[in-house]
A and B are shown apart, each in its own frame.
Chain A
Amino acid sequence: MASLKRLETEFPILDPDFQSFCALRGIFTVQDFLIRDLQSLVADAEQQPSSERFMQAINQVLYVIDGLHQPWLNGVDLMEDAQKNKHVLSTGCEGMDFLLRGGLRRGQVTELAGPSSSGKTQFCLLTASTVAYKHMGGVIYIDTGNSFSAKRIARFLNQISCPASEEMQPRVLQEVMNSILCHSVYDIFSMFDVLHCLESKLKYQVMCRGDNDERLIIIDSISSLITPILGSSGSQGRALMVSAMSLLKKLAHEYNLAVLVTNHTVGGDGGIPKPALGESWKTLPHVRLLLSRDCGSNTYQVSLLKHPSIASGKAAKFIIND
């Protein structure tokens, strides 16, 4: 947050008189301004000898504050943005695409929860392959448990592109696989690092070319990064969880990315598994899915726990072949 002193170079009306007027009331930076009662400050300023200049200075700071929040959007702008930018990305899995009315939507964060060995990683790899191949999009795969497998991706790509069990051309295969970037992270701070670097990269791409290549971020699994820091009563862990999701939602919305995160399950009422990470987590993702696998087979069952525009409770079955 800029201090008033530094702002003086840009806006000479914030002269030392005004700064000392503010300093007496404990205001040194723009953030202090935000946390203060503006009306009483204005009333004070009017009683000063140079009240006009002070009023102009206050208005100048308000102008700076106006640049601190996101712009107000009109409903019509929102509709146009949704139509132009927020398309769906097919996941490569017919059952899942049918359940989600097309697939993962760009601009939304989707959570896939399931017990261990229920197919979450397989689904992530399949989605990464499909998006890289069909949508020509870059995929950022953040892997927390060393489960990323390039061989599996290559097999999926062969299945998608040549169902007649021919081999894909090695050059094409290499190009598609080059668009999937895998980062191994083992704690939440490294994940923040990766996401901040990604944000700079995307900003730069948009500035130079007007559009970015990346389409999908996958975090497998975000719960292994968050569970170690979630204490029972402390708020630091939950604060980090909320900030991480806030950053993901910001990236998703501003750069039109779809985000897929996986979560594990814990025992719930009556022994039915429920997604982990607690009550606060439930309000964070846009779409929540619960995955399970029929014992020893390749058939998976997924049900919809929450979606902004589809009724919850729907379910679908699908098969992922070896």
Chain B
Amino acid sequence: MLGRAQASRPSLSLPAPLHRIPLRAGNVVEIAGPSPSAKTQLLIQTAVSCILPKERNGVHYGGLGHSVLFVDLDCRFDVSRLVEMLRHRIVQVNGCSCTADDEEILKLSMRRFSYIRCYDSCELLAALKTLHHRLEKEKESNGIGGHLLMIDSIGAFHWVDRASTSLPLGGKNRKYLSLQNVLEVVVEDLRKLMSAHPMLVIVTKATIVGTTGNDFRRNYKRWPSAGTFDASSELEGLREPYFREYMPPIWQSFVTHRILVRGSDDHIAMPKSQENNTAYVSEWLLPRLNFLDKFVVRNAGVFLVS
């Protein structure tokens, strides 16, 4: 039965550092980190791997051929970066040959990428509620395909929702748009979407509630750890400010996998180019892996170092 379950929801091969743990449809991955820590670059890299076809005209591109739904709550997405990374991958596979083919593959892949911006929580809720119908229609026309849902920065409306008035509305049973209620509905709607259409959800979260002087010693605890606390010498090096978890418990329990990324202090000197690239460090918190992955972001994408 395990074989059947694994065959029906195969694990997706995603780029580093998401490759450490096999991820499949139904998982919710949260990539958290301070700004800037290359979270959106990781999302874009993953999107490129997903929208590329596996094979076309006899050439093996190594993509997943899945469609990507990108919900941009930060409204900072730069499509030219996505196109740049996609072009690098295609040229890498094709060599320096025909560009007409390249453009065709590029367009084909970009057609699998759907994008929406939300400027406040109401728009986000409206988009999620109507997404089900949209996917149903797509299923009828295109057949069943895997999906990847990406949400860039789930904490984008955190402050606005927290400050939103809690004046009692007339009539009992009425719920108002508070932080807790909004996230409850978001989690509910996502759960329903995931059960109706198999999809992997990847969410970024900026650690917007940072440390200040006294609070640091008083209030901050480590990130919720899934397993036992193995104090390995590498993890001792994480003396960076701890960031407070600000998402309510309903969101925390919805997330099945968690990665923490941040900039590292070392600069990696690239032998070819003259520049030093900032390196970033990623750590899997849930499930807990006791080592750190180091990666750099170059023009062509995200690459593991070491």
Q: Which residues of chain A have a CB within 8 Å of any CB of chain B?
A: 1, 23-28, 31-32, 34-39, 62, 65-66, 68-76, 78-79, 81-82, 108, 232, 234-236, 238-239, 241-243, 246, 249-250, 253, 278-280, 282-283, 286, 305-306, 308-309, 311-314
Contact = CB atoms under 8 A, between A and B. Distances in A.
A279 B182 contact: no
Given A69-B124, A70-B117, A282-B34, 4 more contacts: A34-B126, A71-B116, A75-B115, A313-B276
A236 B163 contact: yes
Contact of B171 (A28, A36, A72): A28
Contact of A73 (B80, B114, B129, B133): B114
Contact of A282 (B36, B83, B126, B129): B36
A74 B67 CA distance: 11
Given A62-B129, A280-B159, A35 B175 contact: yes
Nearest to A107: B78
Interface of B: 34-36, 40, 51, 74-84, 107, 109-120, 122-127, 129-130, 133-134, 153, 156-157, 159-160, 162-164, 170-177, 181-182, 185, 188, 192, 206-210, 212, 267, 275-278, 297-298
Contacts of B126: 34, 65-66, 68-69
B172 A26 contact: yes
Contacts of B298: 311
Among the interface residues B75, B171, B192, which one has the most CB atoms of the partner chain A within 10 A? B75
Given A34-B125, A72-B116, A239-B159, A28 B82 contact: no
B152 to A, nearest CB: 10
B36 A73 contact: no
* Chain A to chain B: the 3 pairs with minimum beta-carbon distance, closest first: A26-B173, A75-B110, A75-B113
Nearest to A313: B278
Contact of B79 (A25, A75, A234, A243): A75
Contacts, number: 173
Given A69-B116, A71-B116, A283-B206, A76 B177 contact: no
A69 B175 contact: no
Contact of B174 (A32, A62, A70, A241): A32
A278 B146 CA distance: 39
B122 A34 contact: yes
A229 B159 CA distance: 14
Contact of B153 (A36, A82, A283, A314): A283
A160 to B, nearest CB: 28
A232 to B, nearest CB: 8
Among the interface residues A65, A74, A75, A235, which one has the most CB atoms of the partner chain B within 10 A? A75
A25 B173 contact: yes
6 contacts: A62-B130, A75-B51, A279-B207, A283-B74, A306-B35, A311-B297
A243 to B, nearest CB: 6
B232 to A, nearest CB: 26
Contacts of A25: 173
Among the interface residues A36, A72, A76, A313, which one has the most CB atoms of the partner chain B within 10 A? A72
B163 A239 contact: yes
